[in-house]
Amino acid sequence: MGARISRSRWLAYASVVAALTITVAGSDQAQARAKSKRDHARPRAIHGPNYHPPYAAIVVDDKSGLVLHEASADEPRHPASLTKIMTLYLLFEQLEAGKLKLDTPLPVTRKASLQNPTKLGLKADQTIKVEDAILGLVTKSANDAAVVVGESIAGSEEEFAALMTLKARALGMSGTTYVNASGLPAEAQITTARDQALLGRAIQHRFPAYYQYFATASFRYKGAEMRNHNNLLGRVKGVDGIKTGYTVASGYNLTSSVRRDEKHIVAVVLGGTSNGARDARMRQLIEEHIVRGSTVRTAPIVAEVHDPAQQESPRVPAVAPAAPKAAATAMGDSEAAAAEAKADAVPIPRPRMSAAKPVANPPTLAASAKAVRTPRVTAKASTPSPLPSAYTLSSAPVERRAGPSSY
């Protein structure tokens, strides 16, 4: 009897120990899972401390046409996904001409579906409506949607890039060459901060209604919600667009439009070392220079020349009345410590109001693009000088931890 009781007590004791062991083990596993989640959620640096893409910036008062600040504004840079501003400019042109409608389905090719992220995940032989493509471009910065737009308008992305460059010349963007519709890495695809400010102004002047898409904070497509990469929307007073961009070679880019107290400026930052650094720099530029903006329009709106292929001489820039130069202010970051705030007139093509031309067949577009005479640079010198036919970008080696994504 005593032996049976002892054995029963021993079994009960063993059961309690086993239960405690299981509980402790489960607790340890739960804590390990929680730690793993915390570690996974912790942001990690994409680039090392030696990542310093070439910096450039400009702030333009839209109403007076004056440059309120510039730093390396005419130096060649890679646009990354700022490229999509021109892609959308040409798409808006098609909508304005009635060649496309917002609900027009655009076919998705295999090439479009195979684009690198960021993208919507479009599949070959599907279609996407024009409006969904627009929203995918301005929020997600979808590279697959950009190729769909280009191929639908010009037949191929290569022919569309030729049309984009032709349009850049028509707007006076003499330092810009496009080779694709998305902004994915391409050595020959270059621009300048001044050209991007000009494009940022032009797309608003030409398409005020369609431009409002750039203020879209989020977009839901096929059940997935996509938030705009532009972190200044809704966080900085008056910001209504426009576009972010990033590749390893370009750094973190941003073109911003700000309307505040009847003033309107367009600012461009190229070559930020991170999203946060770029956004902080843009905030600083906005707050420092919006106060100097004009409340009355004295400069003409940005418009295209009638036929850039037939221009035999440089266009005469429409220059706003000179404004007093403001004293230089501290930049607050090492990337632009040597630059000074200026108030120089922005070269703007003399406006020529004409109806939009129908888009020609792709071969014609390519031929026209090749026939474009390279405009001469008038922004910095009184005597025009030819623009180099190609730029070579060079920068210090960077630690590459990210793919070729453009957004």
As a residue count, the chain comes to: 407
Please give the angle made by the CA atoms of 407, 106 and 173, to the nearest 5 degrees.
Answer: 50
The residues carrying an active-site annotation are 81, 84, 141
For 261, which DSSP code?
Answer: T
User: What would you measure as the largest C-alpha separation in the chain, in angstroms?
Assistant: 118
Burial class of residue 390 (count of CB atoms within 10 Å of its CB; 0-12, 13-18, 19+):
exposed
The answer to whether residues 188 and 175 touch, using CB atoms and an 8 Å cutoff, is no
> Which H, E and C letters describe 188-237, residue by residue?
CCEECHHHHHHHHHHHHHHCHHHHHHHHCCEEEECCEEEECCCCCCCCCC
- Helices (H) and strands (E) counted in the chain, each on its own, are 10, 10
166 belongs to a structural domain: yes
Per-residue b or e along 31-51, where b marks 16 or more CB atoms closer than 10 Å to that residue's CB: eeeeeeeeeeeeeeebbeeeb
The answer to whether residues 303 and 353 touch, using CB atoms and an 8 Å cutoff, is yes
394 belongs to a structural domain: no
20 belongs to a structural domain: no
Question: How many domains is the chain built from?
Answer: 1
Q: Supply the pTM of this predicted model.
A: 0.71
13 belongs to a structural domain: no
Domain at 182, CATH number: 3.40.710.10
189 belongs to a structural domain: yes
45 belongs to a structural domain: no
One digit per residue, pLDDT tens: the chain, 407 residues? 555 546 666 666 666 555 555 554 555 555 555 544 444 444 455 788 899 999 999 999 999 999 999 999 999 999 999 999 999 999 999 999 999 999 999 999 999 999 999 999 999 999 999 999 999 999 999 999 999 999 999 999 999 999 999 999 999 999 999 999 999 999 999 999 999 999 999 999 999 999 999 999 999 999 999 999 999 999 999 999 999 999 999 999 999 999 999 999 999 999 999 999 999 999 999 999 999 999 999 999 999 986 544 443 333 333 333 333 433 333 333 333 333 333 333 333 333 333 333 334 444 344 444 444 333 333 333 333 333 333 334 333 333 344 555 67
22 belongs to a structural domain: no
79 belongs to a structural domain: yes
Domain boundaries, position 78:
59-371
